[in-house]
Amino acid sequence: MFLGSVIYDKRRSMHLTQTELATDICTQNTISKIEKHNIAPTVNILTKICLRLELSLNDVFSDFSSNSTSEEESILDSLERDLLLDNTGEISEKLEMLHSKLSDNDLKQVNLIKGALEYYNDNFDDSLFTLDKVLQLTKSDVYDIYTLLTYLFKGMNYLKQGHNDRATYYFEMIEGATKESLQIPNANEVEVIYICKSLAGAYVELGLNKKAREFSDRGISLAKQRHTTYFVDYLHYYAAEAIEDDPKKQSEYRELKDAAYYFAKLSDNKNLLEKMQIHE
């Protein structure tokens, strides 16, 4: 059955009007067009409709393409991107809706997302356990981005708990894998720049300023090459932090700090802006 028909039938069975279904999701006209098969909803709108109608994404995938796997992968990529960009609000619910539809190959990405969410929620033991599932699936292949992201989150996990030696061990595993190049076959620019940003921040915290500056610079360089602004505010901030105490580099420090501030303003990064005010 087509997507529009599934939504129409479920809406009618729940005695909802199109306007009631659309409330806080989209317009009534959008619901009408979806039900008439005139448009396909965005992933965000579709997810909210499914939650309201108590549908799983399994129930509505057939209308997207004959090869549903590609659509599932795009949704997983979208969820991972939200995670790395710190938009974690609805990720758990969306993962629940997808889980029964996933292939074994997708599970490393799912477990990476789950393990990272557990880390963000300070569920450290659960996070480490879930992240180890990723390494089982990737066989710790350092040419797989999910191995490197797992090492990163395990390292940040240990750093947050004060186990600096264990944290450094995992960070150095990433260093070794990316020493020659940041080109990772199955990685996208958000993932790689996120790794650079996170390592730079971790090394600042560990007092390893030379390494912090190295990964800040590598991230900034990659962002310029890809014509993107992902994490450039943090990258400039950590580059500045790495040389703050060097009396010979105070002019460069101020330039980097100013750049971090303006990039943060441009992206409305309230967390970093607040952090910079505290440290000034």
Average pLDDT, integer, range 34-47 = 78
Query: What's domain 3-63's superfamily in CATH?
Result: lambda repressor-like DNA-binding domains (1.10.260.40)
Average pLDDT, integer, range 51-56 = 82
Q: Where in the chain is the domain with CATH 1.25.40.10?
A: 122-279
Closest CA to 242 of 274, 219, 269: 219
User: Residue 4: what pLDDT?
Assistant: 81
| Per-residue model confidence as pLDDT tens digits over 214-247 | 999 999 999 988 888 899 999 999 999 999 999 9
One DSSP character per residue, 176-206 reads HHHSS-S--TT--HHHHHHHHHHHHHHHHHH
Confidence of residue 145 (pLDDT cuts 50, 70, 90): very high
One DSSP character per residue, 230-270 reads TTHHHHHHHHHHHTTT-GGGHHHHHHHHHHHHHHHHHTT-H
Average pLDDT, integer, range 100-117 = 83
Q: At residue 64, what are phi and psi to the nearest 5 degrees?
A: -80, -45
User: Residue 72: what pLDDT?
Assistant: 47
Sign of torsion over alpha carbons 104, 175, 83, 128: positive
Burial of residue 149 (CB within 10 Å: 0-12, 13-18, 19+) is: buried
- pLDDT at position 124 over 70: yes
Six token digits for residue 139: 């066989």
Average pLDDT, integer, range 187-213 = 96
- pLDDT at position 256 over 70: yes
Angle between helices 91-98 and 107-120 (to 10 degrees): 150
- pLDDT at position 40 over 90: no
Alpha carbon distance 211, 192 (integer Å) = 16
Burial of residue 81 (CB within 10 Å: 0-12, 13-18, 19+) is: middle
Alpha carbon distance 91, 116 (integer Å) = 11
With H, G, I as helix, E, B as strand and everything else as coil, classify residue 26: coil
Average pLDDT, integer, range 93-101 = 68
- The percentage of residues in the chain with a pLDDT greater than 90, rounded to a whole number, is 56
Q: Where in the chain is the domain with CATH 1.10.260.40?
A: 3-63
Confidence of residue 64 (pLDDT cuts 50, 70, 90): very low
Q: For residues 242 and 76, which has the higher predicted lDDT (pLDDT)?
A: 242
Alpha carbon distance 269, 234 (integer Å) = 9
Average pLDDT, the chain: 87
Q: Kindly report the pTM of this predicted structure.
A: 0.75
How many CA within 13 A on the CB side of residue 107?
A: 12
User: Residue 171: what pLDDT?
Assistant: 97
- pLDDT at position 86 over 90: no
CATH of 122-279, one of 3.40.50.300, 1.25.40.10, 1.20.120.80, 3.30.565.10: 1.25.40.10
User: Residue 177: what pLDDT?
Assistant: 94
User: Residue 78: what pLDDT?
Assistant: 84
Alpha carbon distance 167, 164 (integer Å) = 5
Which amino acid is residue 258, in one-letter code?
D
Average pLDDT, integer, range 194-204 = 97
Own/partner pairs, 56-64, CB within 8 angstroms, 24+ separation: 56/97, 56/100, 56/101, 57/97, 57/98, 57/101, 58/100, 58/101, 59/6, 60/3, 60/6, 60/7, 61/3, 61/101, 62/1, 62/2, 62/3, 63/2, 63/3, 63/4, 63/6, 63/37, 64/3, 64/40
Confidence of residue 101 (pLDDT cuts 50, 70, 90): low
